[in-house]
Amino acid sequence: MPRTVFCLLLSNFCFLLSAFFLTPRAAAQEAPAPAATAQAPPAATGPHIDPKAKEMLDKVIQALGGQAFLNYKTISSTGRAFSIYEGETMGFAPYHSDVEPPDKRRFAYGKGQQVVLVNNGDRGWQQDRFGLIRQKPENVRRWQIAMRYSLEGVFRHIVREPRTLILDGGTDFVDLLPARVLDISDSHNVGVKVYLQRSTYLPIRITYRIQNPESREWSEDSESYSDYQVFQGIQTPMRLVRYVDQERVAEYFLNTAEYNKEYPPGYFEPRR
């Protein structure tokens, strides 16, 4: 694959969900909380959850796999990733992803001589046939944000954090489906909306607003989930679509997923 296509894919992949990478680190800037947060201040020692929202939240966790979803240690996956600009597919590549929560990943994409993205906490590298370079800080920042507000980040971490507020957001339509809505204001005052399939309580879409710390401009990021399949007792979306300001920017189609695979020492460090 030409270098130009690699660079285009990288600009999206570095902040995109790379098959369930997650981190509980706070990467987002403060954003306005939902208006409903004024009704009840969050508890200082734990999340504040409205009783109706608690019932919905419990159903979501059970639908995703219960303790198997909450406690898995690693996930590996393969599939195809597409980069999209102004509605047109600009490039695609097969990929292989390995993740060790909360903050380690190795993501290889392309054919032949692959591009490998490695993240370990706040450090990130890109390795390809031209050599090894550091990921740009903005790419690392965007990746951390995407992981925090991913399906796994929200339901394994944010909903448990102190000062998180969770309310029943009523009903709505998203992706042509009727949905129940959870309104979440996290410990960094970022407003998050989670749309749930009404019959199964599986997440359909997660939306949140983030401010760029340099430009001070706001963006609305979201990710949609569909085609769930069960792997090792965990409901896994096989199609993920990434949106920025309601424009589709990337799409993933998973072929396989494996949980709790063991990785060798030093696996999440660059290889020279």
Provide the residue range defining the domain that includes 115. 3-259
* Contact present, 253 and 79 (Cβ < 8 Å): yes
Mean pLDDT of the 16-41 span? 37
The per-residue pLDDT for 87 is: 62
In a domain, 237, yes or no: yes
In a domain, 18, yes or no: yes
211 vs 126, higher pLDDT: 126
What is the band of 90 on the pLDDT scale with cuts at 50, 70, 90? low
The per-residue pLDDT for 12 is: 42
- Tell me the pLDDT tens digit for each residue of 156-200: 999 999 999 999 999 999 988 899 999 999 988 899 999 999 999
* Cβ count near 124 (within 10 Å): 22
d(CA 261, CA 150): 21
113 vs 60, higher pLDDT: 60
In a domain, 181, yes or no: yes
In a domain, 264, yes or no: no
The per-residue pLDDT for 144 is: 86
Mean pLDDT of the 96-121 span? 90
In a domain, 272, yes or no: no
In a domain, 266, yes or no: no
What is the CATH classification number for the domain harbouring 96? 2.50.20.10
In a domain, 265, yes or no: no
Residue 61, φ and ψ in degrees, nearest 5: -60, -45
Mean pLDDT, all residues of the chain: 83
Which positions ≥6 away from 131 have C-beta within 8 Å? none
The number of distinct structural domains making up the chain is 1
Q: Which two tokens stand for residue 180?
A: 């129940």
In a domain, 243, yes or no: yes
